[in-house]
Structure 1
């Protein structure tokens, strides 16, 4: 079975608590993920283990609607979410570590695509790597400019 495993990192010139606080709040995802158009909470914020959110994204010309559930949270260090439903079973892991005066953020997506995505797993993986690299660059620019909402 095809497996997609994409991990990208960025060094962000802001403190860990600021980066983790912003990036670890799913409500902010549409601000820095180019492909995510909306997030709707199924459970009450703030984020915690068991939180569920509906995401709508557009990827490779397709509209994707899926629900993420938070399965692990270590405040300021690590957040792990898994799709609870949707077309592409996926796990997303954010980690934040101090790096000098800033933060090293890692974003990892792993999953087992089904249907069309399974057949095109190498293309999907390459597209995900490009997209997440751009997303982290967008997050970095947003936080370092101080223009976030």
Structure 2
């Protein structure tokens, strides 16, 4: 069973500001509740082929994984993928200007759990949606407070 979860929000900030902040992995712990740390494995800035090691907590477990950027269209789309662990995942950010000072950001996570993790996919999807909704709300709060 595949997992495909998508959430979005409108942030009252220009697209350049939202995309720059959200696509910088160093900012992830500030707006992702579950991400504890990020370390670059390749030199910044973000570009196709960039690799970053993340440490996160999810459903009471500590997870370590490495994302590789597979696509970057500045101020439009960022795609990162990991193939390791029991739950290979792809994360996609998209940005769309609503007005000069408003941006719709969409966050999508897709993946195909392997082995035992496959049995828990429906529970994981519900937990992911809840976490992703909170993360985008936090991102909105952080950026609109600037």
TM-score bracket for the superposition, by shorter chain length: over 0.9
Shift of 1:114: 1.9
Partner of 1:107: 107
Partner of 1:49: 48
Q: Partners of 1:74 and 1:84 in 2: how far apart?
A: 22
- Contact 1:69–1:84 (CA under 8 A) maintained in structure 2: no
In the alignment, does 2:93 pair up with 1:94? yes
Deviation per CA, 1:101-145, whole angstroms, max 9, x where unpaired?
300000000000123321111100000000000000000000000
> Matches of 2:116 and 2:10 in 1, distance apart?
34
SS in structure 2 of the partner of residue 123 of structure 1: helix
Structure 2, unaligned runs of 5 or more: none
Q: Distance in 1 between matches of 2:137 and 2:115?
A: 31
What CA RMSD, in Å, does the superposition of the two structures yield over aligned residues?
0.8
Give the Cα–Cα distance (whole angstroms) in 2 for the partners of residues 112 and 20 of structure 1. Answer: 27
Residues 1-149 of structure 1 mapped to structure 2, 5 A cutoff: 2-100=1-99, 101-146=101-146
Structure 1, gaps ≥5 residues long = none
CA shift for structure 1 position 38: 0.4
Query: TM-score normalised to the size of structure 1?
Result: 0.95
Indicate if the aligned counterparts of 1:66 and 1:87 stay in contact, CA closer than 8 A. no
Q: State whether residues 41 and 53 of structure 2, in contact with CA within 8 Å, keep that contact through their aligned partners in structure 1.
A: yes
Is the 2:86–2:117 contact (alpha carbons within 8 Å) kept by the matching residues of 1?
A: no
